[in-house]
């Protein structure tokens, strides 16, 4: 069962962030959730524009100037957040609040706010094929995903500008059969049921990972390929059935492709008009949080639909 009570949208007031706000507002309406619009004032960045970092005590005049700049930027952020809250999608919500937070880095501030306020889902924009939004300098979106205490929905610039209630009628789940993917599978299945959506489960076999027997010439190659693909198809369906303790009730299709995982995922999503990609992320790194896997990292900025990234060991919105 999906239970989303609180949704957080970090915004830098860009066009990409505006798309994220619209998608988040629709989700908030669907799940009767509270929506929080958050802008982060990065102190080091703001104060550094007044006076570059230098050893020694800050003169009183410069300290006063720094505070004036901070107050000006904070007031501007408040105004922009209020304007955002009056948007066509957000203004219809019964529960919406705006928050300005200050911190050393945007990613840590976003993650800290999410954790301390029991946020169920973070919705955040990405810049597209060339990288992430400029406000998220140093790939803040990537860093948010790594340390987020809950699932993160990324919205790219090619996603639907005005989403509709049936936006998630076809869900794609890249399934590599790993422990991480099996954890994320629960989300893909639950969302498919909630939206009465078609669910496509895709496994991509990389050539470099194929068995040594693939070097054999002739018909034996094709037999090995077919046998491997059938085993994968059977295993994928088995894992889905295990979630339900028997035959699954989903409109599900199982597919095996060969090639680079992120290329095949994007091509499959585009060719089959997927409206949402659910992807599991790699495990926890004690120093840096969750490592952002190369597949997730390459899929997010290229996808034409929202991408839900599910880490392990998080606050979950599945009850």
Predicted local distance difference test score (pLDDT) of residue 131: 41
pLDDT of 286: 36
Residue where a domain stops, chosen among 162, 182, 212? 162
Q: Does residue 283 lie within any of the structural domains? A: yes
71 and 175 inside one domain: no
The pLDDT tens digits for 109-137 are 999 999 999 999 999 998 754 444 444 43
Residues 157 and 204 in one domain: no
* Domain membership flag for residue 219: yes
Report the pLDDT value the prediction gives residue 310, as an integer from 0 to 100.
93
CATH number of the domain within which 17 lies:
3.40.50.620
Where is the domain boundary, 113, 136, 162?
A: 162
**Which domain range does residue 270 map to?**
166-307
Is the domain of 259 the same as that of 279?
yes
319 inside domain: no
Give the residue, 270 or 205, on which the prediction is more confident.
270
Do residues 139 and 279 share a domain? Answer: no
More confident residue, 128 or 249: 249
Does residue 316 form part of some domain?
Answer: no
Report the C-alpha dihedral over residues 117, 119, 125, 131, rounded to 10 degrees: 80
Regarding whether 285 and 233 lie in a shared domain, the answer is yes
Q: What is the pTM of this model?
A: 0.85
Query: Does residue 44 carry a pLDDT above 70?
Result: no
d(CA 280, CA 237): 17
With respect to residue 313, please indicate whether it lies within any of the assigned structural domains: no
Both 11 and 152 in a single domain?
yes
Does pLDDT of 289 surpass 60?
Answer: no
Of the pLDDT bands very low, low, confident and very high (cuts 50, 70, 90), residue 182 is very high
pLDDT for the residue 61: 64
Q: Are 172 and 155 members of one domain?
A: no
Where does a domain end: 137, 162, 187? 162
Mean pLDDT of all residues belonging to the chain: 82
Position 318 in a domain: no
Same domain, 71 and 107: yes
């Amino acid at each position: 069962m999906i239970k989303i009570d609180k949704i957080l949208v970090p915004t830098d007031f860009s066009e990409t962030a505006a798309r994220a706000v619209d998608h988040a507002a629709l989700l908030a309406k669907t799940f009767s959730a509270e929506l929080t619009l958050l802008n982060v004032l990065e102190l080091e960045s703001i104060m550094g524009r007044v006076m570059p970092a230098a050893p020694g005590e800050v003169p009183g005049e410069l300290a006063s100037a720094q505070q004036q700049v901070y107050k000006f930027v904070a007031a501007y952020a408040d105004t922009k957040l209020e304007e955002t809250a009056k948007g066509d999608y957000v203004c219809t919500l019964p529960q919406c609040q705006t928050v300005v937070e200050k911190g050393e880095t945007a990613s840590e501030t976003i993650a800290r706010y999410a954790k301390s306020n029991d946020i169920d889902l973070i919705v955040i924009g990405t810049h597209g094929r060339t990288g992430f939004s400029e406000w998220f300098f140093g790939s803040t979106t990537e860093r948010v995903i790594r340390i987020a205490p809950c699932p993160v929905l990324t919205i790219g610039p090619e996603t639907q500008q005005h989403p509709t209630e049936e936006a998630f009628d076809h869900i794609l789940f890249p399934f590599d059969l790993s422990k991480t993917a099996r954890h994320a599978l629960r989300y893909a299945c639950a969302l498919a049921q909630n939206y009465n959506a078609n669910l496509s489960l895709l496994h991509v076999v990389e050539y470099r990972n194929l068995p040594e027997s693939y070097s054999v010439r002739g018909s034996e190659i094709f037999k090995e390929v077919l046998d491997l693909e059938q085993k994968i198809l059977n295993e994928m369906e088995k894992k889905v059935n295990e979630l339900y303790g028997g035959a699954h009730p989903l409109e599900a299709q199982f597919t095996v492709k060969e090639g680079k995982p992120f290329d095949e995922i994007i091509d499959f999503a585009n060719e089959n008009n997927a409206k949402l990609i659910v992807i599991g992320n790699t495990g926890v790194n004690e120093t840096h949080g969750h490592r952002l896997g190369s597949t997730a990292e390459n899929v997010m900025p290229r996808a034409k639909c929202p991408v839900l990234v599910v880490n392990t060991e998080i606050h979950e919105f599945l009850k």
